[in-house]
């Protein structure tokens, strides 16, 4: 696939930042309403900090020794990943998507992004493929799917909000 068009980087990254902030708000709401725990991004940071040592799988990550700055690394990675998925969306849909956002491409990228936790993060953190080793695997999978759908909706909503600021 060749990309013939430049991607408006600042606007694209803002879509990713906004959508990631929305899923953080969603996680807080879910915790308040349903008592569902949010992902501890310090554990994501811990996992990432072990990667340069050649350790990419843990059983589970909570049993591995904490690392300095793991929370800052985890939260930074969380927002960086959100921006990268927004970049994927705008690259695939084209920069015109930012001018006339459509729900379907954003939702599709949001839902497709669940592949990353199912097949990389969860196995690496000791939960197995698609949280197969979680205490309630189908509940964990459902939470992941809903979260990533919310992320897709939030990319769409953030792009719409940016249009309002540009007008």
Task: Express each pLDDT in 66-105 by its tens digit.
Answer: 999 999 999 999 999 999 999 999 999 999 999 999 999 9
Query: For 7-28, b where at least 16 C-beta lie within 10 A, e where not — what string?
Result: beeebbbbbbbbbbebbbebbe
- Pick the closest to residue 2 from 91, 88, 89 (CA basis): 91
Structure token digits, residue 59: 């059983």
Residue bearing tokens 């990943």: 81
Residue 166 pLDDT level (bands cut at 50, 70, 90): low
Domain ranges of the chain: 9-166
CB-based burial of residue 84 (10 Å sphere; 0-12 exposed, 13-18 middle, 19+ buried)? Answer: middle
> What average pLDDT score do residues 18-36 get?
92
């Amino acid at each position: 696939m060749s990309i013939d068009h430049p991607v408006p980087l600042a606007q694209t990254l803002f879509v990713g930042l906004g959508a990631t902030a929305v899923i953080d708000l969603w996680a807080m709401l879910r915790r308040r309403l349903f008592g569902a725990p949010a992902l501890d991004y310090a554990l994501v940071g811990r996992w990432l900090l072990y990667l340069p040592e050649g350790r990419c799988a843990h059983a589970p990550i909570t049993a591995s020794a904490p690392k300095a700055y793991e929370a800052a690394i985890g939260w930074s990675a969380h927002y960086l990943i959100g921006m990268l998925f927004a970049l994927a969306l705008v690259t695939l849909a084209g920069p015109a998507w930012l001018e006339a956002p459509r729900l379907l491409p954003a939702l599709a990228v949001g839902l497709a992004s669940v592949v990353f936790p199912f097949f990389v993060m969860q196995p690496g953190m000791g939960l197995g493929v698609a949280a197969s080793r979680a205490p309630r695997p189908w509940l964990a999978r459902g939470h992941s799917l809903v979260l990533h759908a919310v992320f897709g909706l939030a990319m769409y909503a953030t792009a719409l909000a940016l249009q309002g600021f540009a007008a």
